Each structure stands twice: as C-alpha cells, then as structure tokens.
Amino acid sequence: MTYVIGAPCIDVMDRACVDECPVDCIYVGERSAYINPDECIDCSACEPVCPAEAIFHADDALEEDHAFVDDNARFFTDVLPGRSSPVGNPGGAADHGDVGVDTPFVAGTPTR
C-alpha cells in the first residue's frame, strides 16, 4: 500500500510534504495534493512534516477516509476534467509540474 492525502489538505496545501518526498511522488492539483501510489516507496517521510496532519497510510485509513484512498488513486488513473489523458506515472512531480485540476470528488468538496 501507499500513503494518502486526505481532507485536511483541501484548500491548505502547505507543500512541506512535496519538499520532503525523496522520490518526488506528490503531485499538486488545484485544491489538494495527491500521492502517486505506484511511485511512492512507502518511506513515510511526508507524514510527520504535514502541518495539517492530512497524510496517512492507506492501511490505517479510518472509515471516513476510505473515499480518499480510492480518490487518490483515481487522480492518476482517470482522465481529469479538462485533460485529454490520465496523469499516469510520469516519474516525478517536479518535472511534470502542477496538474492544476482535481478529481471530481475533491473539486466537489465544499470550500472551507
């Protein structure tokens, strides 16, 4: 399994996790960040630096966080609004740049 970014990140996106990730697998949407489950090496470096405490291991997801586990994966496998192809596994967020769009699940979450 992998690490996942949940609800506390929406509209916050501190990006400390992005800076800390040794494999550059945290991609930035418009309102939230997402961890690529195929690129994550399960090192947990991102979890303690998140000031919003939004990062958790998928195996430890609480019932209310299960939707974020599935949605995090969909960010990479589904075609996001306004895009012609899925994000996929580009091999690094820095070279890819901010995606600038979220999954419909996150985009539809009420603003804080």
What pLDDT tens digit does each residue of the chain (112 aa) get?
699 999 999 999 889 999 999 999 999 999 999 999 999 999 999 999 999 999 999 999 999 999 999 999 999 999 999 999 999 999 999 999 999 999 999 999 998 7
Q: What is the pTM for the complete model shown?
A: 0.95
C-alpha to C-alpha distance for 92 and 77, rounded to whole angstroms: 16
C-alpha to C-alpha distance for 89 and 111, rounded to whole angstroms: 29
Topology classification of domain 3-107: Alpha-Beta Plaits (3.30.70)
Answer yes or no: are the C-beta atoms of 4 and 76 closer than 8 Å: no
- Give every CB contact of residue 48 below 8 A, 6+ residues apart in sequence: none
Domain ranges of the chain: 3-107
